[in-house]
Structure 1
């Protein structure tokens, strides 16, 4: 019997990780994914500073449900797809953009977690649960807030307390940018209404 080539084996592994989760696996994945999103410093900062308004915490909960629905609808969602999805929500619901790749890092962690759960590997979920319990279910890292037009020279310190270790690379320093809409006045002196800024 012929052995599968490395490329064939890799393709099979990738395909198997995209299959729908079983009814017993789904809540495990959703719990771990929720911890990852709640432990994401950029999102935590947007919620704590109410970038999304007084119901920012509810929007974060909705965001977790939306991510779960995304994978339920399309199990083949990869890290790049999820990153775009998260960035769009940050822009639309929290009027926030990021200066780093933290959204992709979180997306990679979520996709890896899903693959682990699909293969009945609970090591990542157990590590996340232990992390969450040790931190009292809260994550308040020291993150420098930078608004457009302000100096970010003090953004040199790093705090590793908010890192979630799930056998992936450590998350980089996270910085959120609260977007501001500049006033535009036409030649007659009338102010033009501007749409909310989107991530370029």
Structure 2
């Protein structure tokens, strides 16, 4: 269940602070950190994180009734599209909730949370956060391993192709039956 949308507009002078708060929420998201660190989005993965922060900010600007669920959907979509990462640990819920809390706070003219996040980031000198217990699963790897084992077990002589067998001639299709109203009658294969 998502938090209700906050309709409090962000004061213009605090928009940059709100953008910084979004960025810090993304920077502190272990799942995205793993994707950026491992460059799953390519060599410009950290730029994609910055771009995502801008997209979330624009979402709030363009759609003032944006709620946590909208943010969650965007987070999941961008991680899958840009980083090839499907998130199944539901951590996007906490990130979206944090962004919504920062939005509410900034809408009320307060920036304490953002200032705290920024101070913490400065003390780490911008180093990536510890990823904690992020579990990475590669899809279909088990399926590929079993296919490889099966193909190793079979000894197939690839020198000669088998002889071709002539195809059976097809039976001619029966003429369609038309009823008295002019409609074509559908006849199942078994009745032909």
TM-score, structure 1 length as denominator? 0.63
1:149 deviates by 4.9
Query: Do the aligned partners of 2:18 and 2:103 also contact (CA within 8 Å) in 1?
Result: yes
**C-alpha distance after superposition, 1:65-100 (max 9, x if no partner):** 111111111121111110001101111111101121
Is 2:49 the partner of 1:65?
no
Q: Is the 8 A contact 1:39 1:138 kept in 2?
A: no
1:147 maps to which residue?
138
Partner of 1:157: none
1:124 alignment counterpart? 113
Structure 1 segments unaligned to the other structure (5+ residues): 1-13, 152-179, 181-200
- Give the deviation of 1:24 after TM superposition: 0.6
Instruction: Quote the offset at 1:150 in angstroms.
Output: 6.1
Task: Return the match for 1:115 from 104, 113, 121.
Answer: 104
Partners of 1:83 and 1:103 within 8 A in 2: yes
Give CA deviations for 1:90-128 in whole Å, capped at 9, x if unaligned. 111111011211111100000110000100122211221
TM-score, length-normalised on structure 2? 0.66
Query: For residues 126 and 28 of structure 1, what CA distance do their matches in structure 2 show?
Result: 9
Matched residue SS, 2:13? coil
RMSD: 2.3
Task: Tell me which of 94, 100, 108 is aligned to 2:89.
Answer: 100
Find the counterpart in structure 2 of residue 20 from structure 1: 9
Cα 1:133/1:26, change in 2 over 3 Å? same
The CA deviation at 1:38 is 1.2
Name 2:39's counterpart in structure 1. 50
Q: Which has the higher strand share?
A: 1
Q: Which runs of 5+ in 2 are unaligned?
A: 145-192
Flag the structure with larger Rg. 2
Equivalences, count: 139
Could you tell me how far apart the structure 1 residues matched to 2:111 and 2:43 are?
36
Once the two structures are superposed, the pairs formed by residues 81-92 of structure 1 within 5 Å of their partners are: 81-92=70-81
